[in-house]
Structure 1
Amino acid sequence: MIDLLSLATAVDPEGLLPARQQMALSLGWHIILACFGVAFPAMIFVAHWRGIARGDVVALRLAQRWAKVSAVLFAIGAVSGTVLSFEMGLLWPGLMGEFGDVLGLPFALEGLSFFVEAIFLGIYLYGWGRMPPRRHLLMVVPMAVAGVVGTFCVISVNAWMNAPSGFRIVDGQVVDVDPWAAMFNDIVVLQFAHMWVAAYMVVGFTIAGVYAVGMLRGRRDRHHRLGFAIPFVFASIAAVAQPVIGHLLGGDLSDRQPAKLAAFELATTTEAPAPLRIGGVLVDGEVYGAIEIPRLGSIIARNSLTAPVPGLDTIPPENHPPVNITHWAFQTMVGIGTLLALAVVLYWIVRWRGHDLRDRRWFLRFAAAAGPLAVLAMEAGWIATEVGRQPWIVYGVMRTSEAAGSNSGLWWLLGTTAVIYTAMTAAAVTVLRSMARRWREGQQELPSPYAPQEPNRHYDPPSGSESS
């Protein structure tokens, strides 16, 4: 939630810079895992439902294996999520000391959602072969709902930081606290929708990319084609919807956070109509290397041919965000998002015309890269919105420097966290690769008693197939 690259000044508390770096590392790492908790259950549900409704052994195997992958990622995410819970108070004592009563409700509900998700994930995993098929399938629903609710609660805190509400400050004291008003602030619905759809892009393109790699290696069996198709459909819908949601979210940015909009557009002065600047850097108040498209800035940012885009000259210098980081992060997000949206539109047009691009190696290579690109776009989007809010941790109310403590020992915490996260990443990759290898070798865990059975009552993947 905090700008990770701005340098602390001499008057800043000693804990400010390590707190920023720690929060950036923790959130940047955890948010990827959180996406799987939001989006993966829906894909598992579709695969499992298809297996029951159509008597599809392959779909049931996909659901079973995806659930086990989800369990591994959930276990890793539980560690990083727990770390974040402690970090808010440790890194930002000024924020939590002042606004703890305002923010307590969403954090409490997020904790409850976490436990519900964990319980039903366990039931679902244990239920293979032990529960009636439709009842077993329904265990995915509360798991999926809990993931969405938990994410909404966390996003509501960040949305509140961008549009604070639900309290008043009288004589320097926070009074008239309304946690529900804070949680359901003015931008929470659109900001949550933006992140929710991003999660489907990240997970859909990543899972589809795994099977695209398998197909590039010659595994063109139905297991891989279905494993690609289900998540790719989710990702396609999300990729097309995301630019619309992002545009709606940024529609009132000129009134709500004009400094952030000025940094997005690299606008040093107020212009009407304003051009769209692609690329470029701001050096000593001058823009260098940008490609300008006349009027397009006003059209995109203000939905108008002539409306002005506020410039940095209208904002006190001490309230300027780090402009170049904000600008490039925003353009990276928009550029990748546009590329992915155009790619899926092309895929479905070609599919509608009777051709399947999954038979083309160039498309499979692009599909394999789409997952990392979606992750990069999501991380860039978070950098844009968080760095663009600086120097405020609560916009217009509390500066980031006022929220930090004076504990310089936080550098040790940062180093320890980096080591732990690196080890967890290596462990997760090792476990997932081991699972995939065993599945490729034909090792099958407890088959579901309600699955359609092969003549020998075992599912043997076609020769040369691979599971991921």
Structure 2
Amino acid sequence: MLFNDPVFASRLLTLLTLSFHIIYATIGVGVPLMIMIAQWIGIKKNDMHYILMARRWAKGFVVTVAVGVVTGTIIGLQLSLLWPQFMELAGNIIALPLFMEVFAFFFEAIFLGIYLYTWDRFENPKKHLLLLIPVALGAGMSAFFITIVNSFMNTPAGFDIVNGQLANANPIAAMFTAAMPTKVSHVLATAYMTVAFMLAAIAAYKLIKGSNHAYHKKALYMAMRIGLVFAIATAIIGDFSGKFLAEYQPEKLAAAEWHFETEEGAPLLLYGVLDENQEIKYEIRIPYALSILAHGDPFSEVVGLDQFLKEEQPPLVVHYFFDLMVTIGMFMIFLALIYWIGMKRAWSFVQSTWYRWLIVLGGPLSFLAIESGWWLAEVGRQPWILRGIMTVDQAATTSDYVGHMFILFAGLYIVLGVGTVVVLTRIFRNNPLEKDLEKMQGGDPS
């Protein structure tokens, strides 16, 4: 059985854990910014609806933070248990960003606790708003430091290998690798975009279900505008990411685009299938677009998979991850752009039920795009765990019990996922919008 192969089982368990954790990590990074923006608008406009948005979103955020702590801790343990050879080599040099990520989380958690327990305790609400700055900053820094570790795995730097041993370690150089700028900026932008569309989906769903409250209309409009800004930012950063891959990881770009032969003026391939002879069928070809993505020049040469050994080529399935990520990203840009223009010009269809259902669909689709982006990044680095230095096979544990661990952790994630939904549902069911609004109007600090 495949579960009896410790390498395969370790890869599968890591995939499961990262895919589950990225949901909570994305919420953990994006929600503090949304809370801060809502509260700032509420104070600026003296509008209690925006203040209430911040208050209600903060209630739900605490639940996801608690689960995120559990899954984040599991990832740290699994790095050592499943990939001991990797941690033995790289742990000496990437320990600094791992430690700083923990510090950033505690920094965020401390101020989040103060923020939550000081509602209505300040005469000047702007002082309470200031508490959100370290919360949002801590959340962003957590993503920054953990993404640095991933960047290091893609473009290792800051050390030498002498006689099979790590030497001349420079932790600062290891943190600021060639992959760091595009990876960090892409992670942050997609987190903010995804959370904005998630909150927009919730507001749109409430409106579809019969609520005509101004609170939901304002939440929808604000979230869609913020989502549009970060969706466009994500597309721009994606272009820079393509140029990074062309220079530093050309095999990943070639696999993602099924670019088998090196050529000039290379087309961009979307969709399609491969037959048994690796012939591409039913694809959409955009002339010169891959050369533009890779080098900004429609006639430039793009390196193909023919320049790499067969055993060093990434799995070709990453093409589908790329297509899924790009398709959803472009869909969300157009959906948000049409909504924004339509609201400005009073187009009635953007407030219709069918269009709001598209916005509702955009919430889970945005998370699917996040997942596919990470699958592209991680599977596209194969067979390397530390590119050019250590393969996944060399890094994995030799334990025969990883398959049993997979079953146990899968059960744990089911419990955590279902538990999150149940707790959040009860929180907001027991504290409906009207009840919270009545409390604020009555000055009830509870």
Q: TM-score scaled to structure 2, two decimals?
A: 0.94
- Maintained 8 Å contact 2:7/2:398: yes
Mapped pair 1:287 → 2:284: no
Q: SS of 1:416's equivalent?
A: helix
- Maintained 8 Å contact 2:339/2:350: no
Specify the code of the residue in structure 2 equivalent to 1:322: P
Specify the code of the residue in structure 1 equivalent to 2:84: P
Shift of 1:254: 2.4
Q: How far apart in 1 are the matches of 2:40 and 2:355?
A: 28
Specify the code of the residue in structure 1 equivalent to 2:301: P
Q: How far apart in 2 are the matches of 1:252 and 1:54?
A: 43
Q: How far apart in 2 are the matches of 1:69 and 1:416?
A: 27
Q: How far apart in 2 are the matches of 1:446 and 1:93?
A: 55
Match of 2:395 among 392, 403, 421: 403
Q: Greater share of helix residues, 1 or 2? A: 2
Specify the code of the residue in structure 1 equivalent to 2:78: E
Match of 1:261 among 249, 253, 259: 253
Partner of 1:30: 21
Partner of 2:342: 350
Specify the code of the residue in structure 2 equivalent to 1:290: E
Shift of 1:445: 9.7
Percentage identity across aligned positions?
A: 35
Q: What CA deviation, in whole Å up to 9, does each residue of 1:207-226 have, x standing for no partner?
A: 11001001011212111112
Match of 1:190 among 161, 182, 196: 182
Q: How far apart in 2 are the matches of 1:32 and 1:239?
A: 18
Q: How far apart in 2 are the matches of 1:289 and 1:445?
A: 54
Q: SS of 1:251's equivalent?
A: helix
Partner of 2:130: 138
Alpha carbons of structure 1 residues 141 and 67: separation in structure 2 relative to 1, 3 Å? same
Mapped pair 1:311 → 2:304: yes
Q: How far apart in 1 are the matches of 2:119 and 2:437?
A: 10
Q: How far apart in 2 are the matches of 1:72 and 1:305?
A: 49
Q: SS of 2:285's equivalent?
A: strand
Shift of 1:443: 4.0
Q: How far apart in 2 are the matches of 1:109 and 1:366?
A: 40
Specify the code of the residue in structure 1 equivalent to 2:299: T
Q: SS of 1:279's equivalent?
A: strand
Root mean square deviation, CA, Å: 2.1
Q: How far apart in 1 are the matches of 2:403 and 2:412?
A: 14
Partner of 2:290: 297
Match of 2:160 among 154, 168, 175: 168
Q: What CA deviation, in whole Å up to 9, does each residue of 1:241-283 have, x standing for no partner?
A: 1111011111132231121111111112122221222222333
Q: What CA deviation, in whole Å up to 9, does each residue of 1:13-54 have, x standing for no partner?
A: 942111111111111111111112211111111222233333
Partner of 2:328: 336
Structure 2 residues not aligned, in runs of 5+:
none
Q: How far apart in 1 are the matches of 2:433 and 2:240?
A: 49
Structure 1 residues not aligned, in runs of 5+:
1-6, 460-468
Of 137-146 and 299-308, deviating more is 299-308
Q: How far apart in 1 are the matches of 2:101 and 2:428?
A: 32
Matches within 5 A, 1:50-449: 50-132=41-123, 133-282=125-274, 283-323=276-316, 325-355=317-347, 358-440=350-432, 442-444=434-436, 447=439
Q: SS of 1:290's equivalent?
A: strand
Shift of 1:184: 1.2
- Maintained 8 Å contact 1:390/1:400: yes
Specify the code of the residue in structure 2 equivalent to 1:421: Y
Alpha carbons of structure 1 residues 358 and 440: separation in structure 2 relative to 1, 3 Å? farther
Q: How far apart in 2 are the matches of 1:45 and 1:35?
A: 16
Q: How far apart in 2 are the matches of 1:58 and 1:435?
A: 19
Q: TM-score scaled to structure 1, two decimals?
A: 0.90
Of 112-121 and 357-366, deviating more is 357-366
Q: SS of 1:127's equivalent?
A: coil
Q: How far apart in 2 are the matches of 1:295 and 1:54?
A: 49
